[in-house]
Structure 1
Amino acid sequence: MSLPSIIGVLAYNLYNILDTLLLSQGAGMDAVGGVAVSFPLFMLLSAVASTLGTGAASVISRALGRGDDEQAARAAANTFLVFYATALAMTVVGLLFLEPILLTIGVTDSLLPVARGYTRIILIGAVTSTGFSNLIRAEGASRYAMAIWVIPLSVNTAFDILFIFGLEWGATGAALGTVIGQCVSMAMSVNFFLLSGRSRLRLAARHFRPDIRLIATILSTGLPSLAQWCGQGLAIIAANRMLRTFSTDPTVLGYGAGGDLPINTYGLASRILLLLLFPVTGLAQGIQPIIGFNFGAGLHSRVRHTLALSMAITIAYGIASTIITAVWAARPMMRLFTGDTATIRLGTQALAVMGVATAFTGIQQIHATFFQSIGRRTAAILVSVCGQLLVPPTLQVMGRFGLVGVWWAFPVAAVAGSLMSSLAVLHAIRGALRPSDGSHAAAPVP
């Protein structure tokens, strides 16, 4: 089940890279910077979708593990209701206060027009911003969940090429392409749950009656995802605001250039690093229904085995990707996007240093998914945010050492966060997941 999840996440991250490449080549680095610096608002939309999606997926997979299809159907229907209501509210508030919000999160005056044009369109299309792939994956339909990533992203990319190069709409064209792709994803979701007959959840009108207790369960179960997304957003905002101070003082760069170079470089480097994390993100999504199903069925040895295997894969991959990036790949990656010497030099440094955080960030993702899948909400929330919340204070301390200190703040915070999450997981394994409670039972793993 993890392979389709990894492919889906790979498609998304490849799209992010291709979108950034198209922007850099077709509209310049300021377009990349304007989109990247406004990314926390896009992350807020993703946070809502992820919170509801992962929370509902955990509830649904455990309900299906118990054979309670009715509970699973109610969970899915209530998730739809809450998401669309929340997305509509975010659109209204975001459009009303867009400019002050953008300035608060670190957008510079020179990047404001690009960020404003891009974000306005993204907010208008907020109601289409998820295809509920987590819910589809919770039913075991991992291939369809993969398709709901790959097909819309392919459509998105095609329209990006048309809008950015053909019509020369720059970042605005990229936003329009994103919304069109999201509409395709939404249509595929409607087809799966209501039209195709593939879903095990036979949704009816009665399932769409608001169930406050069930909604509260979904939200509380999904809070770790909300915490993780918000933590990442706060880290990005803190970095943008710190880098904005460097943008006003070109002497600290040492490259004879000031302006938006630090923010543009960080935006590009962070997009590339997201690609490095895709296998771990896909792995985490893939193990969620497996852990949830087997925990619901009392098969705790399979839960432990899944956790151990995913951790081994994550650590091995993190070490390999860090070495490859630092030794060989950083400079060629930057040259792919820009020919500017200052951006390449600064971006190579940023990638080599920030890439050290890959393994430790991946460890926290796996740990958060584990706690979320077994319904340990408080632990999952703490594990999700511990590393991210350390980024802003770490930036304040290490930013005194210049841009190199800014880059190193991310690995330092990730190491500390992974150590804390590891202690929490060890405590859970020794307590709740003892070998004696049903672990020998025979049952299929979805």
Structure 2
Amino acid sequence: METSHKSVATLLGDPKKAILKISGPMMLAMFMQTLYNLVDAIWVAGLGPNALAAVGGFFPIFMIIISLATGLGIGTNAVVAQRIGAKDKSGAESAAKVAILLVLMLGAGVTFLSLISIKSALILMGQTGEVLTLCLQYSYIVLPFTIVFMLTNVANAILRAEGDAKRAMMVIVIGSVLNVALDPIFIYLLKLGVAGAAYATVISAAVSLSMAMYWFFIRKDMYLDLSFRKNQLDFSFLWKILSIGIPASLAQLSMSIAIFILNKFASIAAGAKGLAVFTSAWRIINFGTVPMLGISAAVTSVVGAAYGAGDMNKLEKAHFYAIKLGLMIGISVMAIVQIFSKQIAFLFAYSREGSAIFNDIVNALRVLSLFLPGTPFGMLTSAMFQGIGHGVKSLIVTIFRTIILQVFFCWFFVSVMKVGLQGVWWGIVIGNLTNAVVAFSWGKSVIRKLKNSKRV
């Protein structure tokens, strides 16, 4: 039990050390997950464009499931961390168990609905012929494991809520590495094609979940005892988890919707070339935001514990320190992209055909990298809102950035000012920076009110 108790001690101790110790492993986990998504696509690409289109066609459906799972994980993380901070161990255990039951029920419902509607949904999305057949083959293997994906997210959230970032990292990293290793075996060695990619995905997810379940229910060396024979469940935690989790899920979906709209603007500005430039440059910018995601996971846990303990000074320190850390990382990554923009662009434009968009990618990277320093102000304030249970505020911050500001400025520069592709890049950057100012100011105001109410 010593590992978990040390993790809880870290969570409840110096907020700066807690942010560092939790965010480090989570950064690595997020990086490995991002890398796995890229490598997985590369393995499938070897089967040809139809296979790649089939797996890509399933991606929007899978993103809805993952968005729901991620949101519920964030809600679980915040509520459990709050009870740990309040030194209410039995309440934290009850909240964690309620979350597990919630995911089991929702997972079963989502699995049933997705299986009976997947074919119609894919046809509605425009899939036909061999691509539709391959996509259904992939879907019918992955969808029955919906509960596994959702439970893994919640198990990971419980680990983070305890401050046990190392094990939370292991769940993600081992699953990602295993998936990358199994892909070539199932796809090419066993000659299962697209089905092989699906089997690699579900097996790696099942192994990740099995690790967490082993720690929780067999080894039982966690801080929280999740045995369902102990204590009665307090279902009042259900609404608390959902009040944070549902807005967090919608926030995740809003980001996917925003990318779809931004793709449209890039296409309007410069056709297929604009789309190729945007998707190439945005992959690099996404890599730059991976450390922010790790810090964001830490913020929700540390802020949640501080809020539960009623220590608003610690809450404020955790929020501000996380933003300073994120800002330093954002500036560093931006500088790297600025310096090596030509070398990075060459990765996407090394062919004779690709050389035609080389300069456009260089320009996109140089402008879009300005997006990174402003990101922590909005993203980490949103995570702070989740930690204190203000899920709707978190959702508003995300939607304000993704769907309102970025889309508005892109529309203004592309459709009104007729700036072309440059308008897309500057629209994204200006929208993000505007949101950074508004979100951070709002976050400071909320923390100030919490501190004042505590003094009364």
TM-score of the superposed pair, with normalisation by structure 1: 0.82
Matches within 5 A, 1:47-62: 47-62=67-82
1:171-214 deviation digits (Å, cap 9, x = unpaired): 54433322221111111121122111112222233579775532
1:60-81 deviation digits (Å, cap 9, x = unpaired): 1111122222211221112112
Tell me, in whole angstroms, the C-alpha distance in 2 between the residues paired with 1:101 and 1:361. Answer: 34
1:9 equivalent in alignment to 2:18 = no
Residue 101 to residue 374, structure 1, CA distance change in 2 (3 Å): same
Match of 2:189 in 1: 166
Report the secondary structure of 1:204's partner residue: coil
Match of 2:259 in 1: 236
1:415 equivalent in alignment to 2:425 = no
Match of 2:289 in 1: 277
AA in 1 matched with 2:224: L
Tell me, in whole angstroms, the C-alpha distance in 2 between the residues paired with 1:97 and 1:236. Answer: 25
Contact 2:83–2:91 (CA<8 Å) still a contact in 1? yes
Contact 1:12–1:150 (CA<8 Å) still a contact in 2? yes
AA in 2 matched with 1:342: G
Tell me, in whole angstroms, the C-alpha distance in 2 between the residues paired with 1:59 and 1:285. Answer: 14
Match of 2:215 in 1: 192
Match of 1:286 in 2: 298
Deviation of 1:351 (Å): 4.2
Matches within 5 A, 1:203-214: 203-205=226-228, 212-214=235-237
- Partner of residue 142 from structure 1, selected from 151, 157, 165: 165
Deviation of 1:403 (Å): 4.6
Match of 2:391 in 1: 377
Deviation of 1:82 (Å): 1.7
- Partner of residue 241 from structure 2, selected from 197, 218, 221: 218
Residue 233 to residue 37, structure 1, CA distance change in 2 (3 Å): farther
Matches within 5 A, 1:24-103: 24=45, 26-27=46-47, 35-36=55-56, 38-99=58-119, 101-102=121-122
Contact 1:9–1:279 (CA<8 Å) still a contact in 2? yes
Residue 324 to residue 157, structure 1, CA distance change in 2 (3 Å): same
1:303 equivalent in alignment to 2:315 = yes
Deviation of 1:309 (Å): 1.4
Indicate the larger mover: 158-167 or 192-201: 158-167
1:339-365 deviation digits (Å, cap 9, x = unpaired): 463386365555444443233333221
1:356 equivalent in alignment to 2:370 = yes
Unpaired runs of at least 5, structure 2: 1-21
Deviation of 1:421 (Å): 0.8
Contact 1:78–1:209 (CA<8 Å) still a contact in 2? no
- Name the count of aligned residue pairs: 426
1:388 equivalent in alignment to 2:402 = yes
Residue 53 to residue 403, structure 1, CA distance change in 2 (3 Å): same
Tell me, in whole angstroms, the C-alpha distance in 2 between the residues paired with 1:82 and 1:337. Answer: 47
Contact 1:38–1:115 (CA<8 Å) still a contact in 2? yes
AA in 1 matched with 2:436: S
Tell me, in whole angstroms, the C-alpha distance in 1 between the residues paired with 2:122 and 2:424. Answer: 21
Tell me, in whole angstroms, the C-alpha distance in 2 between the residues paired with 1:399 and 1:128. Answer: 43
AA in 2 matched with 1:369: A
Match of 1:321 in 2: 333
Indicate the larger mover: 33-42 or 99-108: 99-108
Residue 100 to residue 146, structure 1, CA distance change in 2 (3 Å): same
Tell me, in whole angstroms, the C-alpha distance in 2 between the residues paired with 1:266 and 1:115. Answer: 26
Report the secondary structure of 1:140's partner residue: coil
1:43-97 deviation digits (Å, cap 9, x = unpaired): 2122211221111111111111222222112211121122132223223333333
Match of 1:180 in 2: 203
Tell me, in whole angstroms, the C-alpha distance in 1 between the residues paired with 2:407 and 2:88. Answer: 44
Aligned Cα root-mean-square deviation (Å): 3.5
Unpaired runs of at least 5, structure 1: 247-251, 439-446
Deviation of 1:428 (Å): 1.6
Indicate the larger mover: 206-215 or 64-73: 206-215
Report the secondary structure of 2:220's partner residue: coil
Contact 2:292–2:376 (CA<8 Å) still a contact in 1? yes
Tell me, in whole angstroms, the C-alpha distance in 2 between the residues paired with 1:336 and 1:107. Answer: 27
1:21-52 deviation digits (Å, cap 9, x = unpaired): 4344x245675565456533222122211221
AA in 2 matched with 1:134: A
AA in 2 matched with 1:83: V
Higher helix proportion (structure 1 or 2): 2
- Partner of residue 367 from structure 1, selected from 381, 395, 408: 381
Tell me, in whole angstroms, the C-alpha distance in 2 between the residues paired with 1:396 and 1:96. Answer: 38
Tell me, in whole angstroms, the C-alpha distance in 2 between the residues paired with 1:33 and 1:349. Answer: 28
Residue 186 to residue 340, structure 1, CA distance change in 2 (3 Å): farther
Match of 1:431 in 2: 449
- Partner of residue 125 from structure 1, selected from 126, 130, 145: 145
Deviation of 1:121 (Å): 3.8
Deviation of 1:417 (Å): 2.2
Tell me, in whole angstroms, the C-alpha distance in 1 between the residues paired with 2:229 and 2:71. Answer: 24
Deviation of 1:330 (Å): 6.0
Deviation of 1:238 (Å): 2.5
Deviation of 1:274 (Å): 2.6
AA in 1 matched with 2:244: T
Contact 1:48–1:83 (CA<8 Å) still a contact in 2? no
Residue 226 to residue 220, structure 1, CA distance change in 2 (3 Å): same
Match of 2:13 in 1: none
AA in 2 matched with 1:370: M
Residue 278 to residue 32, structure 1, CA distance change in 2 (3 Å): farther
Residue 273 to residue 20, structure 1, CA distance change in 2 (3 Å): farther
Contact 2:111–2:146 (CA<8 Å) still a contact in 1? yes
